[in-house]
Amino acid sequence: PVLRSGVHLAVVPDPTQDPVFSVLVARNCSGITSLVVLLALGFLIAVLTPTRWYWRTLLFGLVLPLAILMNAVRLAIILFFGARFNSGLAMWIHDHEGPVLMLFCTLALLGIRSLLLQLEASRHGES
């Protein structure tokens, strides 16, 4: 179980004991940088997708939920490794997982793009 108090997160398996691992989410770790990068990437992918404007808008609109999901996964991974192993490993993951999660978000955006293009192609095939 994770206890949240403002921007402080702590893994507390037993409420009668001290947390096994805790983190303080700093302002520069809030995900804003990732969101800005994903917004730019999402815009670029949407603009270069040869489909109707509303599908491109949907593709771009999915960037925000994807960024939120990415940050939640990132925090969950850090808390998991900090609680199960040690804080050194959790901090190493904190310092190095950003590019990996950005890659997964990029692949997710490209996957959504591919689905939209397939949907568009199947709609044109029916006409």
CB neighbourhood size of 90 (10 A) = 20
CA 95 – CA 35 distance, rounded (Å): 17
pTM score: 0.74
DSSP code at position 52: -
CA 39 – CA 61 distance, rounded (Å): 9
Task: Return the pLDDT at 68.
Answer: 85
Q: Which percentage of the chain shows pLDDT scores above 90?
A: 28
* Mean pLDDT score across all residues of the chain: 85
User: Does residue 114 have a pLDDT over 60?
Assistant: yes
Asked if 25 and 32 touch (Cβ cutoff 8 Å), the reply is no
Q: What is the pLDDT of residues 58-96, one digit of tens each?
A: 999 999 898 888 888 888 888 889 888 888 898 898 888
Task: Return the pLDDT at 107.
Answer: 94
What the block records as the tokens of 16 is: 């009668």
